Every structure is written in C-alpha cells, then in structure tokens.
Chains A and B, each alone.
Chain A
Amino acid sequence: GQNIDQPTEMTATEGAIVQINCTYQTSGFNGLFWYQQHAGEAPTFLSYNVLDGLEEKGRFSSFLSRSKGYSYLLLKELQMKDSASYLCAVSPYSGAGSYQLTFGKGTKLSVIP
C-alpha cells in the first residue's frame, strides 16, 4: 500500500520562500508529483520527479530522494494567489495504461501580506 505524509497547514509571507515536505512509503514507485488545488477546484499539475534531484520550473522547484522516501516542493517569491492546498502524490504504476495517483492529504498554504 501507499502512505504519504505532509504537514496539514503552513503560513508564509508574500515575497518569501516556503518549503513543503512530503515523505512516502510505497510498494511500487513510478514517480512523485505535486499538484496545486484551490478550494472547490480541480487539482492542477505542478511537477513530476522520477529520478533523484531537483527539478526547477519557474518559481516552483521539486526535489526527490528515493532512498529516503522524501520530496519537497519549494515555492519562491510567494504571491497571494499561491494560497492553496498542495498535494503530494505517488504513482505506484499498476501496468500499461494505468498511472493512477495516490494523493497525500495536502498542505494548506496561506500566504499573508
């Protein structure tokens, strides 16, 4: 089975940097994902890591250590619109045609002025 842990809530100041951590235990692994979800809206894809290391995409970066079962999402130059839930998800890969994701409970980030 899969077990994913991330903090429930975080607060950060506009313009600052925030790091959201995620630890996971999974029976199979085909990648770790970060999704952003505003309340009542669909999750939207932020990043995907399958190899160890840092992936950078604009203001967002994601890091993975497979040996430690650990990932983080780094958000720089925070903006008010970044207030949302950030979902860590693991793909256990069940075979051709199925890349279903198991989501963590999400970290609700509040950006304050």
Chain B
Amino acid sequence: AAGVIQSPRHLIKEKRETATLKCYPIPRHDTVYWYQQGPGQDPQFLISFYEKMQSDKGSIPDRFSAQQFSDYHSELNMSSLELGDSALYFCASSLGQGPYTGELFFGEGSRLTVL
C-alpha cells in the first residue's frame, strides 16, 4: 500500500541558508501535518492543512512557511536556518472527513542538519 513519501530524506545546510522539504500524502488523504522532532524530544506539531487551506498552527517559527498544493502534496519552507532547527521533520496525512479512526500516517521523515 502507498505510504506518505517525504523528500529529501537527509539534508545538510549551513546557518542562514534556506531549505525546502516535500511531503506526498497517501492517495485520497486530504489533510497533511508537519511535525518537528529534535534529538531525544517528542514530536512537536508545526502546522496542518486541509483541502489546501491551513487548518491548524502549532509551534512553527515565523521563519518557516508551508503550503498544500492542488495535488495535495505539501512543502515546508525554512529560511534563515539556525543550529536549533536541526531535527527530524515528519509529515503525516489523514482523511480529514469521514470515519475517524484517529490514525495519522507518518512518513519516514526528513533529517535536517544545520552546520
């Protein structure tokens, strides 16, 4: 079965550079979530989109922005990168409407290292 696809899997950037992470949700899933997980930390919710509109906002820095496109894939743009942005970034998808099983399906994550 198709899963959530994230790219790139690994990314190394310098401070003050920009980075873009991409997420392709499971087919027919209309909701995408972005989470940031630092070393030894729990996943922190950043932002979510439903039907291409922002539906919820968590602890996303102002330096970060995201959007969901017409094909439902999403991109997380990070600018003026800081050392503290080094983390594993997970994308998850779900079906926004319909029977709610409570399950978010996570991608394998994109590991960002800022030097």
Question: Which residues of A are at the interface with B, using a C-beta cutoff of 8 A?
Answer: 30-31, 33, 40-45, 48, 50, 87, 91, 94-106
Contacts and interface: CB of A to CB of B under 8 A. Distances in A.
Contact of A99 (B42, B102, B106): B102
Contact of B96 (A40, A87, A97, A103): A97
A98 B56 contact: yes
Interface of B: 30-31, 33, 41-45, 48, 50-51, 55-56, 58, 88, 90, 94, 96-97, 100-109
A78 B48 CA distance: 35
B106 A100 contact: no
From DSSP, what is the main secondary structure of chain B's interface residues?
loop
B96 A98 contact: yes
Given A97-B30, A97-B55, 8 more contacts: A33-B103, A44-B106, A45-B105, A100-B48, A100-B58, A101-B45, A103-B44, A104-B42
A33 B102 contact: yes
B38 to A, nearest CB: 11
